Amino acid sequence: GYDDTRGDYYLIQNDHIHYRYEILCVLGKGSFGQVAKCLDHKTNRIVALKIIRNKKRFEKQGMVEVKVLDKLRKEDEDDKYNLVHMLDYFQFRGHLCFTFELLGNNLYEWLKSGGFRGVNLEVCRNFSAQMLHCLNLLKEVKIIHCDLKPENVLLCDVANKQPQSKDTHRGERGYSATHNPSDFDGPEYKIKIIDFGSSCYESEKIYTYVQSRFYRSPEVILGISYSSAIDMWSLGCILVELYTGYPLFPGENEHEQLLCIMEIFGLPSMNLVDRGTRKKTYFDSNGTVKLVVNSKGKKRKPGSKSLSSILKNCDPLFIDFIEKCLEWDPEKRMTPLGALRHDWIKEYHSNKYMQQQFFSEKKMPTSANFVSYRESKGSFP
Ligand code: ATP
Ligand code: MG
Ligand code: MG
């Protein structure tokens, strides 16, 4: 049989998929399907196989994923845009399947392996530049990723990956510790953006509600029509999380998510709020924001926290960069091109060829003691 307790997930066992892919172990599970490490007997290559749940809605979105991945592999023949490459796709026992090049740990697992201590600013900058290359290409070809989060950014180094065992894939993910946050002296990490399973063309948006909660942009929360600027919002959230080890806006629900943003950035302009179809959910008839208490009894007050207190003692250029990613108004938010030209990133580019020296001279402290917990992985929808 190929039904597990969730009904529409493919039941992974000792199996050959499509008379070709021998399942070796499970690499991950998301809301759309599962990913297994496989030996491709045709090419003798190890690949990652994503098996989509066999429900209409997931399959429909899966077809969009195929279309986007196919477009992107044509745009990136030289493999320089930091995005995952699809090798093949097919239908198997009612499940849509894709194969990909095998990659390593995702950034959430990686942060976890380092005890959520966060990484230094040089690693943040390196990752930021790589993600921006991808986002810049996406913007050029008018594709919105719609689900950028640490789980969807993978290290290319597969050597340290400790896969889940086949029979414990529903339990805790057991990855070995592979990163030492206090220094950065190893080879340069390469990353790739994966999971185009929520993506869309700017002109063909299917859903009004996208992104995983912690990384969800204010326009999506407020119900304003969105654009590729939502990916820049998520990028800002991811970079802070990489630096501190914890999500910047850990909202327990939609309403608290908006309050988390306000807690740091104050109230948005009423012009922006007025454009939102969901205004009444968050504001009363006088235009006053409705405050809510979370499960720990905490009531977040607009403007009561600051970004610089979260990013203690760090490069002011980094803070400026983050503020420009986390601009309320999507029209005013920094674009991928603007970001690649920002001094915080430019400095990296100009020093690219002197990295050894650069990294040893400018080691930044990592932020510890920022205590918060990821209660929910808050996946879309
Ligand atoms: P989501 O819930 O984020 O929508 P999803 O169901 O769309 O997830 P993916 O994000 O594509 O699934 O994959 C789930 C997980 O599997 C990833 O977070 C990653 O850890 C692992 N994974 C995916 N692709 C690869 C790959 N090419 N190599 C190694 N691991 C991978
Ligand atoms: Mg995913
Ligand atoms: Mg997905």
> pLDDT digit string (tens) for 84-131?
999 999 999 999 999 999 999 999 999 999 999 999 999 999 999 999
| Positions marked active-site | 147
| Dist CA 158 CA 186 (whole Å) | 15
What is residue 10's predicted lDDT score, i.e. its pLDDT? 86
Our answer on whether the CB atom of 215 is closer than 6 Å to any ligand 1 atom is no
| ipTM tops the 0.95 cut | yes
Q: Whose CA is nearest to atom 29 of ligand 1?
A: 103
Four-residue CA torsion sign, 40, 42, 43, 44? positive
Q: Whose CA is nearest to atom 7 of ligand 1?
A: 32
For residue 50, say whether it is annotated as part of any ligand binding site: yes
For residue 351, name the pLDDT band (cuts at 50, 70, 90): low
Q: How far is the CA of 114 from the centre of ligand 2 (A)?
A: 21
Q: Which atom of ligand 1 is nearest to the CA of 197?
A: 7
What is residue 363's predicted lDDT score, i.e. its pLDDT? 37
pLDDT at 49 over 50: yes
Our answer on whether the CB atom of 161 is closer than 6 Å to any ligand 1 atom is no
| Mean residue pLDDT across the chain | 86
For residue 251, name the pLDDT band (cuts at 50, 70, 90): very high
Q: Which atom of ligand 1 is nearest to the CA of 109?
A: 20
**pLDDT: which is higher, 118 or 177:** 118
Q: Can you give the pTM of this predicted structure? A: 0.87
Ligand nearest to the CA of 191: 1
What is residue 169's predicted lDDT score, i.e. its pLDDT? 33
Our answer on whether the CB atom of 50 is closer than 6 Å to any ligand 1 atom is yes
DSSP 23-88: EEEEEEE-SSEEEEEEEETTTTEEEEEEEE-SSHHHHHHHHHHHHHHHHHHHHTTT--SSB--EEE
Ligand nearest to the CA of 27: 1
pLDDT at 174 over 50: no
